[in-house]
Structure formats: structure tokens, C-alpha cells
A and B are shown apart, each in its own frame.
Chain A
Amino acid sequence: MEITVTERGDKVSGMYERTFVIAAPVARAWQAFVDPREREKWFVPPGRDPLEHPDQPLIEGFQQSEYKIGEIEEHQRLSWSQSQEVEGDTRWLDTTVVFEEVESGTKITITRSGFGDSEAWQLFVQSTGLGTDESIADLIAYMETGVPAGRHYSSQSKAPKGSLGAQMRDTGAGVRIVSVIPGGFAEEARMRAGDLLYRLADASVFRRSDVWCIERVLKPGHELEAEYVRDGRLLTGSGRLSTTHYTELHDQGHSGA
């Protein structure tokens, strides 16, 4: 597989684009997107029955999203629009999935655009981007091994997971705290907006996916030490992890509640 990541870091391009190759024929890859029984093997957002809306495309986001199916060319191209509200700003996001036959299987390109420019939208783009990357890995795992691992969603819906209780974003230097949710872990550990997360327990933190790895194995209430950078100094704080409420993740830009 090859993945082309167009951009990462402080500046968000306002577009999500991924290209990858899966070792399966085009007709098979196409089915994984359009057949709800196939789709549920790798993409089942909690609380949504894929069979209830058989034509429902891959909708990221957990609010009551409206959607419109766009242009469809069998085995070639799939597109849809979905409404998404971020902090009072509702926009239509356009997603296109292109299928191309290549020597080693099927090259798929997923493009999503229409995001706003605000800070809240940038967080949304980062969060859904990271989440969609994980769903793509689940798709590839399913197509290439037949195992419906569904790691992205299953890991979050099984039991309540610990949360840092802060909104965060990826930057060049690491993970920056964007806002702290009152009563949560980050507040208890005395973190503030602008701080840069340096370490959680014994693990260095470089990326938001590192934070997800830690949040996913720890339960709410778990006592954790954090180290973070503020004004050129390393500070240490500790607290008890908050609870992640999955339905609120997107409203909060993930790692919320």
C-alpha cells in the first residue's frame, strides 16, 4: 500500500486526501463501499445500523447528518455530500472515492472538501482525518485478510475510555492543548490552552495518535502523570482521566467530553 499524505501540522489545507492500493480486484473493493453488509465489516459507527439505510454512504461524524448521494459510476467513482455542523457553522462536505485498476489490485483515492477555515473546523479536519486513516487501515485489513477487525470503532465503543479532557491539535513540535474542559484530567493536571504535551506516564508524546493509544487502554478515573511545556519550562501535573463520551467526540474535536 502507499498512502499520500498531503499535509500535516499547524496549517491545515482544508482538504482531506488519501491514496492507497489494496490487493483486491476493483469489483471487490467497490462492494466494500456500496454493499452495507460488506461495509459493516470495516465501517460501523456506533449507533448506526448500516442495513437500515442501505444507500447511506460513509458518513463521518455522529450528529444527525443529512446526506445527498452524488455522481456514481459503477466500479469507478462514488460521491456524496453530507451536512456537518461545527460550532454553529453548518456546511456541506463533499466526498469522492475513485477506484482505479492497478497491477497490484485497486488504487483508491478518497477526497473530502468543503470544510470551514475556523479553528474549530481545523480541529474537525484533523480529528476526522486521523479517524478516517484508521478506517482505511480497517478496510485494507478486511480486504486483504478477510478479518473484520473494525479497530477504529470497536476500540472506542466497547467500554468507556479514559480521556485527557482537552481539545488538542497536532503541531510541528508535538500535541498542543487547544482548550481544557472544566473538571477533566487536563484541568486537574493544571494544563492550559497553549501548553504542549511532552509525556504521558512513561510515554513520550509526539502525535495525537499517541494520545489516542494511551486513552484507549486506560479507564476513566485512572491516575496519570503528564509533563508539558509552558513558557520554555517543563511542568508536571497529575490527575484522574475523564470519561470519553463517544457521541460528543466530533462536537469536541475528539478527545473531548
Chain B
Amino acid sequence: MEITMTERGDRVSGMYERTFVVAVPVARAWQAFVDPAEREAWMGNRPDEALEPGEMKIGAIEPERRLSWSSSQAGLEGWYETTVTFEEVSSGTRITIVRSGFGDSEDWLHFAENTQVGGDELIADLILYLETGVRASRHFTFRSGLGATTLPAGAGVRVTHVVPGGFADGAGMRAGDLVIGLNGAPVFRMPDVAVVLREHAPGDTIEAEYVRSGEVLRGRAPLSAWNYGSGQFLGHPGGYPKPSLTGA
């Protein structure tokens, strides 16, 4: 498999694009997207609350070549477009997924970043299912949350909102802090945080290490619960709700 990543980091391009090759014929790969029972096999254990309230409009469909749809999501203004293209190559099927039309607001920025991490994990689950037949359910396995929203930064993971009374709050973090360690392990990327949130249950007390104004600070607190969705929770892995929405 080959994955082309267009951009990553503090600046979000407003677009998610991945190209990868799966070692199965095009007809088989196509089924994995359009047949609900097949789709279930690689995004199967999705909890109900992970289904964001939103709408979907099916766009152009050329069987075994191209699939597209538009989606809207509660809490986000406007629609975003997803196109999946299938091409026969000597080693199987080359699939390109393009998602575009993200807005510029902060909610969109969080959505775009989480789409990247989550989308990459779902692609891995898809490839695993198509190539081995194992019904992969690795992505929807979060257990605890930071009680904060985050965005990737070149230097680590940036805290963007802190939920009062949550883990981040308890550990003394504030918006703008740079997380550099959790539970004794260095944090470089968003997926490093995901490992900790899958590994630990809500209520487990762990240490956070973060940078503020040129100083390294540390704090311990019990982890929050994980929140998947429902419109106010656009900022995994984070345990939104955003402070502005709490109690609303």
C-alpha cells in the first residue's frame, strides 16, 4: 500500500486526501463501500452516539469507478463533499478518497483534523478486512477522554478548549498549552494521545506534561469519559463539549 498525505500540522488544508492500494479486485473493493453488510464489517462496532446527527445526499455514482456524496453535520455550517475513486492496478485496486469543502471556522478545523486521524484508522480497518477477511473494529475503541479538545502542532499536541471539571482542567491545563507527555510517555502526535485514551478507562489517574510560557508543567487527574458525538462534540479526542456549549 501507498498512502499519499498532502499536508499535516498546524495549518489544515481544508481537504482530506488519501490514495492506497488494496490487494483485491475492483468489484470486491466497491462492495465494501456500497453494500451495508460489507460496510458493517470494517466500521462495525460504531456506537450509536458516534453517528453525528446530519444529512447526506448521494451524488454521482459510476459503478465500480466512482462514488460521491455530500454531508452536513450538526454544529458545522455548510456541506462537505466526499468522493471515492476506484482504479484497477496490477496489484489490485487503487482507491482515492477525497473529502473537501471544509469551512474555516474553529469547529471545522477540529472536524478536519479528526477526520484525518479517524479516516486513516478506518482505511487501515478497511484494508485489513479486504485483505484478511477479519472484521476489523479497531477504530471505535476509545474509552476515556482528555476533557479537552486538541489540534496537532508541529511541536506536539495543542490544547484548544478545556472542559471545566474534566481531566485537562484537573491536571491544570489551559487552552494554548502544548501537551508533550501523558502517563510517562512522550506525546508527539494526535495518535499518541489516542493510544492513552484507548488504554485507560475513565477515572484512571494519569500524569500530563505540558508547556506553557516556556515552562514545563505537570499535573495529575482522573481521565474523563470519551464522547463520540451528538453535534456538540466535534472535537475528538477530546471529550467536547466545548465550554460554550456545556449546560446548554
Select from chain A the residue with minimum beta-carbon distance to B11: A2
- Report the minimal beta-carbon distance from A64 to chain B, rounded to whole angstroms: 27
Q: For B141, list chain A residues within 8 Å (CB).
A: 202-204
Question: Could you tell me how many residues of chain B have their Cβ less than 8 Å away from some Cβ of chain A?
Answer: 55
Q: For B143, list chain A residues within 8 Å (CB).
A: 202
Q: Please tell me if the beta carbons of A3 and B192 are within 8 angstroms of each other in the complex.
A: no
Main secondary structure on B side of the interface with A: mixed
Known: A4-B7, A202-B198. A174 touches B128 (CB 8 A): yes
Partner of B181, one of A5, A151, A209: A151
Q: Mark B193-210, 1 if CB is under 8 A from A, else 0.
A: 011101110000000000
Q: Please tell me if the beta carbons of B11 and A214 are within 8 angstroms of each other in the complex.
A: no
Quick check: is A8 within 8 A (CB to CB) of the other chain?
A: yes
Q: Please tell me if the beta carbons of A8 and B3 are within 8 angstroms of each other in the complex.
A: yes
Q: Please tell me if the beta carbons of B185 and A216 are within 8 angstroms of each other in the complex.
A: yes
Bound together, the chains give a CA A145 to CA B39 distance in angstroms of 45
Quick check: is B124 within 8 A (CB to CB) of the other chain?
A: yes
* Number of inter-chain CB pairs below 8 Å: 158
Quick check: is A10 within 8 A (CB to CB) of the other chain?
A: yes
Q: Please tell me if the beta carbons of B21 and A141 are within 8 angstroms of each other in the complex.
A: no
Bound together, the chains give a CA A116 to CA B186 distance in angstroms of 31
- Report the minimal beta-carbon distance from A93 to chain B, rounded to whole angstroms: 23
Select from chain B the residue with minimum beta-carbon distance to A207: B191
Q: Please tell me if the beta carbons of B185 and A217 are within 8 angstroms of each other in the complex.
A: yes
Q: Please tell me if the beta carbons of A174 and B124 are within 8 angstroms of each other in the complex.
A: yes
Quick check: is A96 within 8 A (CB to CB) of the other chain?
A: no
Within 8 A of A (CB), among B30-75: none
Bound together, the chains give a CA A154 to CA B183 distance in angstroms of 15
Q: For A67, list chain B residues within 8 Å (CB).
A: none
Q: For A181, list chain B residues within 8 Å (CB).
A: none
Quick check: is A152 within 8 A (CB to CB) of the other chain?
A: yes
Bound together, the chains give a CA A209 to CA B133 distance in angstroms of 25
Q: For A6, list chain B residues within 8 Å (CB).
A: 4
Bound together, the chains give a CA A231 to CA B65 distance in angstroms of 30
Q: For B184, list chain A residues within 8 Å (CB).
A: 216-217
Known: A137-B156, A141-B180, A141-B211. A9 touches B2 (CB 8 A): yes
Quick check: is B139 within 8 A (CB to CB) of the other chain?
A: yes
Partner of A213, one of B124, B136, B185: B185
Known: A147-B214, A149-B216, A174-B124. A210 touches B188 (CB 8 A): no
Quick check: is A177 within 8 A (CB to CB) of the other chain?
A: no
Q: Please tell me if the beta carbons of A146 and B5 are within 8 angstroms of each other in the complex.
A: no
Residues of B within 8 A of A (CB): 1-11, 20-22, 120-121, 123-124, 127-128, 131-134, 136, 138-139, 141, 143, 153-156, 178, 180-181, 183-189, 191-192, 194-196, 198-200, 211, 214-216
For the complex of A and B, list the 10 residue pairs with the smallest distance between their C-beta atoms, beginning with the closest.
A1-B154, A172-B1, A204-B138, A151-B186, A141-B155, A173-B128, A140-B154, A213-B195, A1-B9, A140-B155
